[in-house]
Amino acid sequence: MATTPHTTLIDSDGFLLHAEDETAMRAEMTHYEQPQAACIEALKIVQRRHGWVPDEAIGAIARVLGIAPASVESVATFYSLIFRQPVGRHIVLVCDSSACFLSGFDELKQALVNQLGIDYGQTTEDDRFTLLPVCCLGACDGAPALMIDNDTYGPVTADDLPALLESYS
């Protein structure tokens, strides 16, 4: 089914793909010889709008890219920063690389768990924060490090957390 910028693609699963998102996916496809190469960006486009990628979006993305839904699903489940369930407004990624591990990762993680009242993979009751591990933030000179949304911080101590987290409403 061809769409125009003023229409919306509804997948057989009932997922509503916004016209701007479909347009962005099609534009992304022009950068690659194979449409599969645009899959990660297509998933990120849906995630930016919805905060995560619902199962029902997989078929809609596959139809736009012209690839099998299983191909989209395999990419979506492989990449840890493609969220397949609802997450909080802010994602807190705690680096557990060797440098961070040796520089106070355990204390930082425990302080986050205590302050937020959640563990890895969980979201606070107010849907404000989701806490996740990440294998490396590339901030070894600032270990232990963490990232909130797109902002990297380090070195971070337990004493830094209250003010840091408060700055994200």
Binding region for [2Fe-2S] cluster: 95, 100, 136, 140
- CA 61 to CA 55: how far, in whole Å? 11
The boundaries of the domain holding residue 60 are: 9-78
| pLDDT tens, position by position, 41-86 | 999 999 999 999 999 999 999 999 999 999 999 999 999 899 999 9
3-state secondary structure of 110: helix
Residue 62's CB: how many other CB atoms inside 10 A? Answer: 20
Binding region: 95, 100, 136, 140
- 84 domain residue, yes or no: no
Q: What CA–CA distances, in Å, run from 86 to 38, 59, 61, 126, 127?
A: 23, 18, 18, 13, 9
Question: What does the longest C-alpha to C-alpha distance in the chain come to?
Answer: 56
- 74 domain residue, yes or no: yes
- 3 domain residue, yes or no: no
The CATH number of residue 60's host domain is: 1.10.10
- Residue tagged 């950068």 (tokens): 31
- 149 domain residue, yes or no: yes
| pLDDT tens, position by position, 115-159 | 999 999 999 999 999 999 999 999 999 999 999 999 999 999 999
Letter string b/e over residues 101-132, b meaning 16 or more CB atoms within 10 A of that residue's CB? eebbbeebbebbeeebebeeebbbeeeebbbb
The CATH number of residue 110's host domain is: 3.40.30.10
Are 67 and 104 found together in one domain?
A: no
And the tokens for 11? 């997948």
Tell me how many domains the chain contains.
2
Query: What global pTM score does this model have?
Result: 0.82
Are 21 and 62 found together in one domain?
A: yes
- 158 domain residue, yes or no: yes
- 101 domain residue, yes or no: yes
Q: Which amino acid is at 42?
A: A
- 65 domain residue, yes or no: yes
Are 62 and 114 found together in one domain?
A: no
